[in-house]
Amino acid sequence: MTMETVTITEATQELQNEIALRCRLSPQTTMQIGPFGFIELEESWGDETTILNTARISTSNRRINSVTDMTQRDHDLLYHLLKHNHGTPFETVYCRWRVIAPIFVLRQWMRHRMGTFNEFSQRYRMPITACYRPDEAARTVDGWPVLTDEQLCRQDALLAQLHRFYQDEYAVACQRIEEAEQNGEIQADEGGRNRYRGRARELLRNIMPVATYSDIYWTVNFRSLMNFLMLRRKSDAQYEMRQYADAVWQLFRQRLPILSQVMERVLQEGPQQVL
């Protein structure tokens, strides 16, 4: 069976080009996940010294200014704090991530409410015409394919049909709006967001499947990030969610290696309770 794919629009191609550019310019802070998925650790605030200085404020004036100044005592304190769930100092380290993922992945992601999300909006922009297609690992259990190639081809055809419907019907709506403006039936909006085209996008986005990709910024502190990683990197976490969580871990580990080592040690030993 011939595979039918969604037509990539100019706007979606621009996003693909941006992903390729970011990966080329910042290979240490970016990762691609599948043919269209993407994650980047754009920025972080604070480090291991921030945590230590915050923790010590209640008992001492001693401060350290750089991770290169950390002594064994400092390393031990960092471990003690994390091991025994002294959580608030770990809320002083923040990361901001750019994530492009299927909507069904982002629905799981946004259940982690201790963070902030800003998402691509189909009220103002056309949908991303790229859809998730499970790879071989995603569609097999113990080496046995739960979905066949023929089934995936039918899925591809259905997704392509939905996107064509959106594009065709939006074009029809825009033509009707333009004709109504010319005929004086409705008043043309001057500048800013066109209410009529905007409403058409709001209604037509209702047909977009959760396999469609979206684009978000996620800002989160380390305490919440650790909880996210504990849950979403488990072997029984959903495959696609685990792919992104593993990427988050790899990029974070490069940015804050000392804190990552402490986290790994605590998790291997077993934390006393979920943070």
In a domain, 220, yes or no: yes
CATH (domain of 250): 3.30.1360.170
Query: Do 211 and 103 touch, CB atoms closer than 8 A?
Result: yes
Provide the pLDDT for residue 1. Answer: 46
In a domain, 1, yes or no: no
Query: Do 57 and 31 touch, CB atoms closer than 8 A?
Result: no
Domain that holds residue 137: 10-46+93-145+210-269
Provide the pLDDT for residue 274. Answer: 47
Identity of residue 234: K
Q: What would the two tokens of residue 150 be? A: 């023929």
Q: CA Rg, the chain, in Å?
A: 23
Walk along the chain (275 residues) and give the pLDDT tens digit of each residue.
455 677 889 989 999 999 999 999 999 999 999 999 999 999 999 999 999 999 999 888 889 999 999 999 999 999 999 999 999 999 999 999 999 999 999 999 999 888 999 999 999 999 999 999 999 999 999 999 999 999 999 999 999 999 999 999 999 999 999 999 999 999 887 777 889 999 999 999 999 999 999 999 999 999 999 999 999 999 999 999 999 999 999 999 999 999 999 999 998 897 555 44
In a domain, 85, yes or no: no
Distance CA 140, CA 28 (A): 31
In a domain, 3, yes or no: no
C-alpha dist (Å) from residue 83 to 55, 74, 259, 260: 14, 14, 12, 13
Output the CA angle 239-240-245, nearest 5 degrees: 95
Identity of residue 222: F
Provide the pLDDT for residue 225. Answer: 96
Query: Do 104 and 211 touch, CB atoms closer than 8 A?
Result: yes
In a domain, 163, yes or no: no
CA dihedral 84, 58, 56, 95 (to 10 degrees): 70
In a domain, 39, yes or no: yes
Closest CA relative to residue 48, chosen from 68, 72, 67, 63: 67
How many domains in the chain? Answer: 1
In a domain, 238, yes or no: yes
Distance CA 124, CA 119 (A): 11
Query: Do 244 and 105 touch, CB atoms closer than 8 A?
Result: yes
In a domain, 114, yes or no: yes
Contacts (Cβ under 8 Å, ≥6 apart) of 5: 156, 160
Read off the DSSP letter of residue 212: B
